[in-house]
Amino acid sequence: MRIIKTLFVFVVVMVLGLAVTISVFGQSDAPVSRAGFVSMLFETAGEPAVNNAAPFVDVPAGASYSGAVSWAAQYNIVTGVGGGIFSPENAVTREQAAVMMLNYARYQGSGPVGAWAVRLDYADLTDISEWAFQGVMYAKIHGLLPEKQGNLFDPKGNMTRAEAEAALEKLSEATAPSALAEKAFTYFLEVSKVPRVSGNMQGISDFFKAFGEERSLETIQDEWLNILIKKPGSPGRENEPPVILQAHMDMVGEKNQGTPHDFLKDPIIPIIDGDWVTANGTTLGADNGAGLAMIMAILDSDSLSHPPIEALLTADEETTMIGALEFDVSLLTGRRLINLDNMEEGHFVVSCASTNRVELHIPIETMPLPDGFTTYELSIKGLNGGHSGVDIHKGLANANILMERLLGEFGNIPLFVSSIDGGSAHNAIPRECTAVLSIDNLDLNAVRAIIEQTEILFKSEFPLDVNLTVNFAEIQAAQYVMTVASFKKVSEGITRMPNGVLSMSPDIEGLVQTSNNLGVIATGGDTVMLVGFVRSSSLEERSQTLEAITALAYDLGARLEVAAGNLPWPYRADSPLRDTMVELFTQTFNREPVIVAIHAGLECAAFAHNMPDCDMIAIGPDIRREHTPDERMSLSSFYRTTDFVVRVLQTL
């Protein structure tokens, strides 16, 4: 619809996003190129990760500005000049820059949406291009591009570097995070102080119990250490249907070898590095500390407009999901649930897989180490690891599987194995594995040659694991070793245990349907334990996988334990909550969210089983490398997601 160039009245603009200080060098009166201005916007955004190529034929992949242009195109900040052309070297005009800044503000969640307008009375009003009118209005609102002498906007004039620097400084102020989003990050820092690795729930549960009670909110702590905090609706909204905000309290405890961190008593110290928040050699706990912090800020707000809120904080999601599975849903009156445990902004999860944790306890016999053998520690380290659901299809190496393959390469060389230990969590792809073995020193050179050749082979097979290393060092002589027959059983167990992607979905392109992750190998006493995590969106295939593991246990004379799992979360065609949030997201960020089903397990599956009439969706900020010590969270995405949740509550 044509915008009438006359008197407009501005309705509303919300101020959200992230403030960043920029530093750009060059002559102040020199024109800025289109690529240069996009690069400045990219720097203002904190140079977020870029995963796609620029869609313009005149933006070469190796150009210094290609990443910035790719980012801007991905988020609809730029669309080019037509015909797949971006014209990177052309000077950016004032009206082009105004449109880019409006789109940037929408990317940050603060650009005006819906019915809005502002009065423009420039003498050259008719020279403004039709497509640029909203951008010029936004620039007028925030004083981004002051008028020139003679009451001119000069829409076709080139933007100078001085103008660009001044405009972006004001744009940063206009898109600064809301007070509630900043408070949420403060609460993220508070949550990080409380040790909360899975299985160690008492402290964090008591923390949230006190949090609710200190604010005189109805607070329930159940026998599973789940916490339910109920907050009445804001004035005038007390009688609306409640909304359930849900997150889990526990985190995966993974750390780099040599990192002196005790997850049972030491706090996590978040480190801000540009736009990313990380930890020092350990998992960060943004999964799901980000969701916890958002909920805390909302519960603590006295000014937010919202319906009644039921904040459900669950225990031990990362291991058994026992908190969600055993929670008494009769305590909930809401039938709209927003889960805050997703890890990709703009992706709305609406379905997930079932899960089962399995333990295979293989009995072993030991004997004294024979004379003439020297003991060595063989270790595989430096792998990326990752989430056993989200990352299982990415071609990442599993250290436990590689260790079994390496030991198999020794062929007929006599050796005795004392132990194999790898991985630390069933739902994390193992990054390290260590075996203690003893060999005759006459075979030492042959063993070293095999290790060297196999390391080269592994690196070529798994190019994503760039830091993969195989270490071999003499240690104190072992007293006892596995018998040859026992080690043969252990080797067979590792080899035959289903691992990795087992099938792909026939209905959803690119979605893993069934997988298993051999996450842990642990030697202790008279057993070697293999721990797997089966995921499937097909109940039939899940049963088939568990049957295969059961048959393996029978053949090995092993004891099998299968933890109670959850059913899959089926897709719901009729979802008013999803429809509302999709519309609001599109209006807010000027792009549509991606509706996805995931191979990971979410607590929504348990709630879908126990509350089949509940309308649910899962969202969250950008979190990368979760379940590894390289876990990091985008701070600007955290702010945007927090403020989006606020908008949802205001709108519902």
> H/E element holding 350?
strand 347-352
- Cα–Cα distance measured from residue 113 to residue 106, given in angstroms and rounded to the nearest whole number: 8
Nearest to 95 by CA among 45, 140, 36: 140
Q: Give the N- to C-terminal CA distance of the chain in Å, as an integer.
A: 28
- Cα–Cα distance measured from residue 282 to residue 432, given in angstroms and rounded to the nearest whole number: 14
Which is catalytic among the residues 154, 317, 359, 603? 317
Cβ pair 275, 18 in contact under 8 A: yes
Tokens read off for 50: 């870029």
* Residue 544 CB burial class (10 angstroms; 0-12, 13-18, ≥19): middle
Sheet containing strand 594-598, strands side by side: 218-221, 227-231, 309-314, 243-248, 336-339, 615-618, 347-352, 594-598
Cβ pair 540, 531 in contact under 8 A: no
Cβ pair 315, 322 in contact under 8 A: yes
Tokens read off for 642: 């927090």
Which is catalytic among the residues 250, 316, 622, 626? 250
Count of CB atoms within 10 A of residue 240's CB? Answer: 13
Q: How far is CA 388 from CA 429, 466, 503, 535, 598, in A?
A: 5, 19, 15, 9, 12
Cβ pair 79, 73 in contact under 8 A: yes
- Cα–Cα distance measured from residue 301 to residue 291, given in angstroms and rounded to the nearest whole number: 16
- Is residue 173 among the annotated active site residues? no
Contacts 24+ apart (CB under 8 A), 211-220: 211/296, 211/299, 212/299, 212/311, 215/299, 215/300, 217/299, 220/331
Count of CB atoms within 10 A of residue 547's CB? Answer: 10
Q: Which residues have a catalytic role annotated?
A: 250, 317
